[in-house]
């Protein structure tokens, strides 16, 4: 419009004024006038082609112009003179001439076509809207004129053009701005007219057919898109009206049924070469006329008040009433198909599927556009719930894939928009159509199965579909298990049993994975905890009557649903028992507290009425039985039905749908009597009493048998039925219309007393449908689930097993990489859900299934296997998936670790594992050993490790490996690997890199305890199994690898070492005990054990004893094995001690350490390291502890006695022993400072024991063959004994020392001197001298304390005895001069001291004189003159004192002699000599 104004001259103010006068949103008035003028000219131009319309004005009135021409010319003259605004002009003024032409019988098709085009153009100018003057009448005129269009047919082509333009105008009416004022009657008329043209187009050209169908489709879309705009308040005013079918008042008032349309064929005028008149108003059916259910229409029309109300509704602006009629009309089209004998259950593709496709497409469009708005309009909703869905159920059995696909699309839309209002209808469709016909065993064609499977998968892709199926059906006691049935169907359909993989299998797989992916996506969305407490029924509760308080609150309905599912699961088991034996079934239900201990009729009746899965035959027999319980249950069973506002035949249908009517007449009578009583109780209006209901029920059963039993040849007529039921209503007749309705209902729809079998389904029978609709009014509400995982745990438990099996089979048979990836996505989703809900068994089963596809290295060689693995997409994808699951969800893997480890071992054998896989187990000392000690390198783990972790080396050796693979013979030149082979190897390596296998072990510290334990057990089992194989070298490599991984895990889990230590230790122990030859496995076991102890001691002091105790395994090594590794073992022990000495505090720990060090004393290579370690412990007082003192002394003694090293090492060992005496002295002083006397005594006692063990150890070394060691040991012993006097050990300890150390030493030395060769024990005489001096030194130092003892006499006699023996000893066959001189002198000194102390005195006459007598008795054998020398009568007191002084000085000189050094030893020896 703006463009037109810019082209006008500036001076034309009038035009501008007119433009300004046009209302906002309207075109320029002059522009519109010009357009209409142009249309007038077009119509007149076409009319002038005919002589009839071409006559000019003449005097004779008969020759005047036709009124059609005159009206057009008049409009032309007036159109430019109108001064009002355009929307203020009555549109009838400029439309009426065109409408007259359209309605005229005299005009031909070309003229009518041009007139229709003109009307279409005017309507599309948007000059007519709801604000235009007289718009209601104008639209009425347009619709009336176009729908009653008449014209002469001159040729088929022009006729089709006119029909297309009629469609064009009618669609423009509905799409125009003024369409909102169209009445319901207008809409019905428009749709009726369009359908007539659609029907007529069947015999016309293809273009007209398509345009007609398109127009009809657009009409329905426009009409039902208006539904969302209708005010709900308007609908509320309609809700009070009757819900019976409406009859519209058509303009031509013709009542032609839809069935007659199809019987009479095409209703358009036939073209026979002669002009004929065509009128759309004279041919078709009418929307609003119920053509099939004629009896219902008659009933509705009999109610005049209802007719008036409906007629008023039809004149109001269009809305719900016209939509109801359109639905009725579309359903009637589909019903006509069935009534014409085209049963969709038995039809073939040869039947005309055009009409059902057309009608179903329109229904689908209506539902798409109306959407959820239908639920706000009860009449529309009721139509969809009953009539529309029933038709969908019927055509769901169609053999036509097109029809079936369209039905499924409609159901999907209904589910999306209205599922809360269609609970039982959806259950019926899923159970009776999809779940039955998607399986070939019910006779469905492959095309049907595929279409239904596609529909089911589309539903499964809805995020909450399967959740809602589980909630609303599987957890509803009265419904079937739709969720489980769908899961079973999908899993079974995915199995390619004896067939190659097809699209059906892939479809089913997609459905399963879609469900799993939906669950996986919901993980983490805050939900009601799945950790629900189980339902425990300790007594019966009437759970049938339980209700949920609030279905909109998950905190209420989730526990309620779970409880109902528990009841249903138990009830299904009880139903199975009941179907086999009713009595035992009831007993089982009593045992599970689902029925009371004492059966009551109401609870049993509820069980029979509401439990799904019961056999109807068993129910019928039970109800008809004459037992007392059955007789009581029957009326209670009837009371579970609500027959209010139902006709008798409908109520009887509903009643008999729940069981099979027994065959015996007495049982039938009892059953019908209970039914009649219940029906009369709720519907007493027509029937006089319950007897009337009983008689009529019998009559209905007889009629049903008569009409539907093929053996009955002569059928009962309506008159016969009415006559048979005279005077049954309390002596009066029932209304004829009432009986007639029952008769026709039974004739049309059989009451099935036995289940329907075959291709059809019981769900499609009219009786079952009526029962379903009735039940839907009282069923539990449909619960809408959001995206939270309320019941995913319960669902997954049911679905996981079949899904894993199905996906595995599909993957096994697939050959497409896209299918591979789909399967892997499914596996990962299952793993994610399993881990989230801690379903370890499911995760283990999944891993087992996956690992079955990991088949590399069997039976190919290593090189061939690497290439095969690189080329095998399936194997590589499985590998990535398995290790992705292991790294992500390892916490919840249990037995699956065995399979994962098997895969790892296979990859290890191929050399594809990363180098850092077991890096934590590598010990620096092992590495140093490999480079320093070449001999051990031959047997070390390093050579083995190169084979399984040196992937770079294997990669660098790729050419040589491929050359070996491709060489034809050993003497032929080796081939260079091809690019394909190189690419395959590269793919294999990249795949393993993506797996991050090393994370399994390096991150094992984050695994849950149970999972970690299972992983360790799997490694142990794998290592143990590999040792049992025949291929020793290869299996040993595997065992070593498993052991390294085990050590790695142990080191990474130091905080949880107690959990796995027992298994690890036992495994290493078995290796050590079973190995008799050096090998890599035992090496790894030993050094791995040392490494574990070294690494864990600083962190696990509470396990220090247990860890150190494990090192005792080293002591159990076979001699050959120990000899091969002991130097390195000692180095490791040394490192361990030096790093952790302060942490080893127990006797048990030190016992292990010293045992290991003691062994080294006899090992040439290891003794040096062992002695250094022992010196490290003993040289510093801080590391020598009461806990390890005795152990260290024993170890030092073994080093002193060892002849492996030099004499100096033995001397140093003796020095360590002697110096350790300083620690005893320090501990003694510390003990004396202890606060508690009891503690001090205990500590002193322990110190004494340690001192005794020290001197005992030295005593043993004093017997050494080597003179230097032997004599140095004696001097060290003298030091330890003489210096300890100050510590004041108890006398008992000294007596023990004399018996076990000194006297034993003297005896042993004496024995050696007499029995051994002087070549073996050189200079034994000197040793005897030192030993004897030691005896007398110690004796004299302890003389005061010992003399107080009762056993002193015995001790003195032992001293004399040994002195006597030594004096008489012969060395080399002759007496020793040294000893002969030394013994008397030592005795004389001792006697002098004893005399001076008053110990050795003559006590003759005083009583006890044994000491005196025994002394001289023994000395006579040694030196008879000793008594006279010691006890001379003339000795003066001065002489005696002088003797005492000399004796003391001699003792002091001797003390200097006994300094434990080589120099002193030499001086003393020379002095004596």
Could you give the residue numbers annotated as active site? 664
Distance CA(1041)–CA(1047), nearest Å, equals 10
Query: Which residues, 6+ apart, have CB-to-CB distance to 1159 below 8 Å?
Result: 1115, 1122, 1126, 1166, 1170
For residue 1187, give the 3-state DSSP assignment.
Answer: coil
Query: Which residues, 6+ apart, have CB-to-CB distance to 1441 below 8 Å?
Result: none
Query: Which residues, 6+ apart, have CB-to-CB distance to 1033 below 8 Å?
Result: none
Query: 1139-1164 burial, b for 16+ CB within 10 Å, e for fewer?
Result: ebbeebeeeebbbbbbbbbbbbbbbe
Kindly report the backbone phi and psi dihedral angles of residue 826, in degrees, each rounded to the nearest multiple of 5, phi listed first. -65, -45
The closest alpha carbon to 430, from 516, 497, 488, 372, belongs to 488
| Residue 175 and residue 259 in contact, taking contact as beta carbons nearer than 8 Å | no
Distance CA(1071)–CA(1089), nearest Å, equals 12
Token pair in block for residue 146: 């176009």
Note the maximum CA span of the chain. 211
Distance CA(964)–CA(1464), nearest Å, equals 77
Distance CA(1038)–CA(1456), nearest Å, equals 67
Instruction: Assign residue 727 a region (left: φ > 0; alpha: ψ between -120 and 50; beta: otherwise).
Output: left
Q: What sign does the CA torsion over 165, 170, 174, 176 have?
A: positive
Query: Which residues, 6+ apart, have CB-to-CB distance to 599 below 8 Å?
Result: 586, 590, 629
Token pair in block for residue 759: 């291709």
Cis before 859 (ω within 30): yes
| Residue 1164 and residue 1204 in contact, taking contact as beta carbons nearer than 8 Å | yes
| Residue 1277 and residue 1220 in contact, taking contact as beta carbons nearer than 8 Å | no
The closest alpha carbon to 245, from 191, 192, 194, 292, belongs to 292
Query: Which residues, 6+ apart, have CB-to-CB distance to 1218 below 8 Å?
Result: 1258, 1276, 1279, 1280, 1460
| Residue 1128 and residue 1087 in contact, taking contact as beta carbons nearer than 8 Å | yes
| Residue 1407 and residue 1352 in contact, taking contact as beta carbons nearer than 8 Å | no
For residue 1107, give the 3-state DSSP assignment.
Answer: helix
Q: What residue has token string 């260079």? A: 976
Burial class (CB in 10 A: 0-12, 13-18, 19+), 1186: middle
Q: What sign does the CA torsion over 1109, 1111, 1115, 1117 have?
A: positive
Task: Give 737-805 as a DSSP string.
Answer: HHHHHHHHHHHHS---SS---SSS-GGGSHHHHHHHHHHHTTSPPPPPP-SS-SSHHHHHHHHHHHHHH
Distance CA(447)–CA(451), nearest Å, equals 6
| Residue 414 and residue 462 in contact, taking contact as beta carbons nearer than 8 Å | no
Distance CA(588)–CA(597), nearest Å, equals 11
Distance CA(988)–CA(563), nearest Å, equals 52
Instruction: Assign residue 286 a region (left: φ > 0; alpha: ψ between -120 and 50; beta: otherwise).
Output: beta
């Amino acid at each position: 419009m703006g463009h037109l104004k810019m082209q006008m001259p500036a001076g034309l103010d009038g035009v501008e004024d007119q433009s300004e006068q046009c209302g906002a949103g309207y075109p320029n008035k002059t522009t519109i006038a010009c357009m209409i003028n142009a249309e007038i000219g077009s119509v007149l131009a076409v009319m002038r082609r005919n002589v009839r319309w071409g006559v000019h004005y003449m005097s004779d009135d008969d020759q005047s112009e036709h009124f059609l021409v005159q009206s057009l010319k008049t409009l032309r003259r007036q159109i430019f003179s109108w001064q009002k605004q355009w929307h203020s002009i009555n549109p009838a003024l400029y439309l009426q001439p065109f409408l007259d032409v359209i309605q005229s019988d005299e005009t031909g098709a070309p003229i009518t076509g041009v007139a229709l085009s003109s009307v279409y153009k005017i309507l599309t100018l948007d000059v007519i809207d709801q604000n235009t003057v007289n718009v209601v009448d104008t639209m009425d005129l347009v619709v009336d004129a176009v729908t009653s269009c008449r014209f002469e047919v001159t040729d088929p082509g022009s006729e089709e053009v006119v029909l297309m333009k009629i469609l064009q105008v009618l669609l423009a009416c509905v799409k125009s701005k003024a369409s909102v004022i169209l009445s319901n009657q207008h809409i019905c008329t428009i749709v009726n007219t369009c359908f007539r043209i659609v029907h007529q187009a069947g015999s016309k050209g293809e273009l007209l057919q398509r345009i007609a169908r398109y127009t009809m489709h657009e009409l329905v879309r426009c009409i039902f898109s208006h539904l969302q705009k209708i005010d709900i308040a308007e609908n509320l005013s309609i809700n009070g009206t009757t819900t019976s079918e409406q009859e519209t008042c058509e303009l031509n008032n013709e009542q032609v049924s839809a069935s007659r349309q199809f019987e009479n064929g095409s209703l358009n005028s036939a073209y026979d070469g002669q002009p004929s008149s065509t009128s759309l108003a004279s041919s078709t059916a009418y929307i609003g006329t119920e053509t099939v259910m004629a009896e219902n229409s008659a009933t509705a029309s009999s109610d005049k008040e209802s007719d008036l109300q409906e007629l008023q509704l039809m004149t109001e602006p269009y809305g719900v009433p016209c939509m109801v009629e359109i639905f009725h009309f579309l359903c009637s089209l589909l019903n006509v198909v069935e009534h014409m004998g085209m049963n969709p259950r038995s039809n073939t593709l040869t039947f005309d599927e055009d009409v059902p496709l057309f009608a179903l497409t329109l229904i689908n469009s209506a539902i798409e556009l109306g959407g959820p708005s239908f639920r706000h309009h009860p009449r529309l909703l009721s139509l969809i719930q009953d009539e529309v869905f029933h038709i969908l159920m019927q055509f769901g059995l169609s053999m036509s894939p097109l029809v079936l696909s369209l039905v499924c699309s409609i159901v999907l839309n209904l589910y999306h928009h209205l599922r809360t209002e269609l609970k039982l209808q959806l259950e019926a469709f899923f159970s009776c159509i999809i779940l039955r016909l998607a399986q070939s065993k019910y006779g469905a064609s492959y095309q049907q199965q595929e279409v239904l499977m596609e529909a089911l998968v589309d539903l499964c892709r809805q995020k909450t579909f399967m959740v809602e199926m589980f909630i609303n059906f599987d957890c509803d006691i009265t419904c079937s298990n739709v969720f489980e049935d769908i899961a079973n169907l999908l899993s079974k359909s995915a199995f390619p049993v004896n067939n190659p993989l097809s699209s059906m299998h892939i479809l089913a797989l997609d459905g399963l994975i879609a469900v799993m992916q939906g669950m996986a996506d919901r993980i983490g969305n805050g939900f009601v905890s799945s950790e629900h407490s189980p339902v425990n029924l300790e007594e019966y509760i009437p759970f049938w009557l339980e209700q949920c308080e609030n279905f909109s609150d998950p905190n209420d309905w989730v526990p309620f649903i779970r409880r109902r599912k528990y009841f249903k699961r138990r009830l299904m088991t009880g139903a199975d028992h009941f179907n086999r034996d009713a009595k035992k079934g009831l007993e089982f239900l009593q045992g599970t507290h689902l029925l009371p201990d004492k059966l009551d009729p109401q609870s049993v009746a509820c069980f029979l009425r509401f439990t799904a899965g019961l056999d109807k035959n068993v129910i019928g027999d039970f109800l008809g039985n004459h037992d007392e319980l059955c007789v009581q249950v029957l009326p209670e069973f009837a009371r579970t039905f609500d027959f209010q506002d139902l006709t008798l035949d409908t109520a009887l249908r509903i009643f008999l749908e729940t069981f099979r009517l027994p065959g015996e007449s007495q049982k039938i009578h009892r059953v019908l009597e209970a039914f009649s009583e219940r029906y009369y109780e709720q519907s007493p209006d027509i029937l006089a009493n319950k007897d009337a209901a009983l008689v009529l029920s019998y009559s209905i059963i007889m009629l049903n048998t008569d009409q539907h039993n093929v053996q009955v040849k002569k059928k009962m007529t309506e008159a016969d039925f009415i006559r048979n039921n005279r005077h049954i209503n309390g002596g009066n007749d029932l209304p004829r219309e009432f009986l007639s309705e029952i008769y026709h209902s039974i004739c049309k729809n059989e009451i099935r007393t036995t289940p329907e079998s075959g291709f059809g389904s019981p769900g499609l029978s009219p009786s079952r449908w009526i029962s379903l609709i009735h039940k839907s009014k009282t069923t539990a509400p449909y619960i809408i689930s959001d995206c939270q995982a309320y019941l995913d745990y319960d669902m997954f438990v049911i679905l996981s097993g079949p899904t894993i099996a199905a996906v595995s089979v599909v993957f096994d048979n697939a050959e497409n990489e896209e299918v591979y990836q789909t399967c892997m996505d499914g596996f990962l989703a299952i793993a994610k859900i399993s881990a989230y809900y801690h379903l370890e068994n499911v995760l283990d089963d999944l891993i087992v299934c996956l690992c079955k596809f990991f088949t590399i290295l069997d039976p190919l060689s290593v090189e061939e296997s690497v290439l095969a693995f690189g080329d095998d997409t399936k194997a590589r994808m499985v590998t990535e998936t398995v290790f992705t699951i292991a790294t992500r969800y390892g916490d919840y893997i249990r037995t699956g670790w065995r399979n994962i480890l098997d895969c790892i071992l296979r990859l290890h054998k191929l050399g594809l594992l990363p180098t850092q896989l077991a890096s934590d187990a590598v010990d620096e000392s092992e590495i140093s050993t490999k480079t320093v000690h070449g001999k051990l390198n031959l047997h070390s783990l390093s050579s083995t490790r190169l084979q399984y972790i040196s992937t770079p080396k294997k990669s660098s050796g790729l050419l040589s490996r491929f050359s070996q693979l491709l060489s034809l013979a050993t003497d032929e030149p080796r081939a260079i690997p091809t690019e394909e082979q190189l690419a395959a190897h590269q793919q294999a390596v990249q795949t393993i890199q993506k797996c991050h296998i090393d994370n399994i072990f390096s991150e094992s510290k984050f695994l849950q305890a149970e999972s970690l334990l299972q992983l360790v057990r799997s490694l142990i089992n794998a290592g143990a199994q590999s040792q049992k194989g025949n291929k020793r070298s290869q299996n040993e490599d595997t065992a070593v690898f498993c052991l390294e991984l085990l050590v790695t895990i142990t080191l990474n889990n130091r905080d949880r070492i107690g959990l796995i230590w027992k298994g690890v230790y036992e495994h290493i122990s078995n290796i050590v005990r079973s190995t008799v030859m050096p090998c890599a496995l035992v090496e790894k076991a030993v050094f791995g054990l040392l490494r574990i102890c070294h690494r864990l001691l600083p962190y696990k002091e509470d396990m220090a004893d247990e860890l150190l105790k494990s090192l005792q395994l080293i002591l159990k090594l076979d001699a050959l094995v120990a000899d091969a590794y002991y130097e390195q073992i000692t180095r490791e022990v040394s490192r361990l001690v030096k790093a952790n000495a302060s942490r080893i505090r127990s006797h048990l720990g030190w016992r292990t350490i010293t045992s290991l060090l003691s062994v080294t004393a006899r090992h040439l290579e290891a003794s040096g390291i062992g002695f250094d370690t022992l010196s490290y412990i003993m040289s510093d007082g801080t590391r020598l502890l009461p806990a390890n003192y005795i152990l260290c002394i024993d170890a030092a003694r073994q080093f002193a006695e060892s002849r492996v090293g030099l004499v100096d090492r033995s001397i140093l060992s003796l020095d360590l022993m002697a110096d350790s005496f300083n620690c005893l002295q320090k501990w003694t002083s510390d003990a004396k400072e202890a606060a508690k006397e009891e503690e001090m005594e205990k500590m002193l006692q322990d110190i004494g024991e340690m001192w005794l063990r020290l001197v005992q150890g030295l005593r043993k070394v004093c017997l050494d063959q080597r003179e230097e060691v032997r004599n140095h040991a004696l001097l060290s012993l003298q030091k330890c004994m003489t210096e300890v006097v100050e510590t004041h050990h108890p006398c008992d300890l000294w007596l023990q020392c004399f018996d076990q150390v000194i006297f034993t030493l003297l005896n042993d030395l004496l024995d050696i001197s007499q029995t051994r060769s002087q070549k073996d024990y050189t200079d034994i005489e000197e040793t005897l001298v030192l030993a004897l001096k030691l005896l007398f030194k110690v004796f004299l130092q302890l003389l005061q304390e010992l003399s107080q003892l009762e056993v002193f006499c015995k001790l003195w006699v032992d001293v004399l005895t040994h002195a006597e023996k030594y004096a008489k000893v012969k060395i080399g066959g002759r007496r020793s001069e040294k000893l002969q001189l030394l013994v008397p002198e030592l005795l004389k000194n001792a006697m002098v001291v004893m005399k001076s102390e008053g110990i050795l005195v003559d006590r003759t006459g005083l009583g006890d004189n044994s000491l005196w007598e025994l002394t001289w008795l023994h000395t006579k054998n040694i030196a008879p003159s000793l008594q006279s020398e010691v006890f001379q009568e003339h000795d003066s007191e001065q002489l005696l004192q002088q003797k005492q002084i000399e004796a003391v000085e001699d003792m002091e000189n001797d003390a200097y002699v006994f300094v434990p050094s080589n120099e002193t030893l030499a001086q003393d020896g020379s002095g004596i000599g």
